[in-house]
């Protein structure tokens, strides 16, 4: 049985496209001093996979990287609005690290996508933040929801921006004999 070590509804939705699985969210420590986004998401996905038992465990972590800063989930609505204002009219990167654990072996990879935002009006930011949607998402937006109104263009894997690079994960699962 494949285990998804995440409570993310977006990851559940995406993983359903390629396999059957159970959800067992990881409760590992996510405090980390790593400042480089690709290394950070890889490390956190490894920790999450290690913290959950199962035949095959899939764990992931996603961050937004902008102007030398890692943007995780906002602390509150004010923090979400600040993040969105900082991303307005600019390009940022979204990194997702994924670890697959099977029979004691762990395979970890990361994916990067570049996202350009439109210039955002204060009213749109305020309305979006008031919807509550940005509060549980890295970088304070969800491209699959109302956050799609913010995005001018994407370079790379769209599903990576949602939090799980499905096509690459599928290939890793095949290579490991997990599906």
Q: Where are the alpha helices (DSSP H) in the chain?
A: 9-15, 37-50, 77-87, 122-130, 158-162, 166-175
Buried/exposed code over 31-59 (b: 16+ C-beta within 10 A; e: otherwise): eeeeeebbebbbbbbbbbbbbbebebbbb
Catalytic, 61? Answer yes
d(CA 46, CA 85): 32
Helix (H, G, I), strand (E, B) or coil at 148: helix
User: What is d(CA 122, CA 167) in angstroms, rounded to the nearest whole number?
Assistant: 36
What region does 157 belong to: left with phi over 0, alpha with psi -120 to 50, or beta? beta
Catalytic residue among 27, 55, 61, 157: 61
What's the CA gap between 130 and 146, in Å, rounded? 12
Active site residues per annotation: 61
């Amino acid at each position: 049985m494949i285990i998804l070590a995440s409570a993310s509804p977006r990851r559940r939705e995406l993983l359903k496209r390629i396999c059957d699985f159970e959800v067992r969210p990881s409760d590992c420590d996510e405090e980390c001093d790593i400042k480089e986004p690709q290394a950070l998401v890889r490390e956190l996905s490894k920790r999450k996979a290690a913290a959950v038992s199962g035949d095959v465990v899939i764990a992931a972590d996603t961050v937004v990287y902008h102007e030398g800063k890692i943007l995780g989930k906002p602390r509150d609505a004010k923090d979400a609005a600040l993040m969105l204002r900082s991303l307005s009219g600019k390009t940022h990167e979204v990194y997702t690290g994924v670890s697959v654990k099977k029979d004691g072996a762990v395979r970890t990879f990361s994916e990067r996508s570049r996202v350009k935002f439109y210039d955002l009006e204060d009213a749109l930011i305020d309305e979006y933040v008031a919807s509550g949607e940005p509060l549980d998402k890295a970088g304070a937006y969800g491209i699959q929801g109302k956050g799609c109104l913010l995005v001018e263009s994407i370079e790379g894997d769209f599903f990576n921006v949602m939090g799980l690079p499905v096509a690459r994960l599928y290939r890793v699962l095949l290579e490991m004999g997990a599906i």
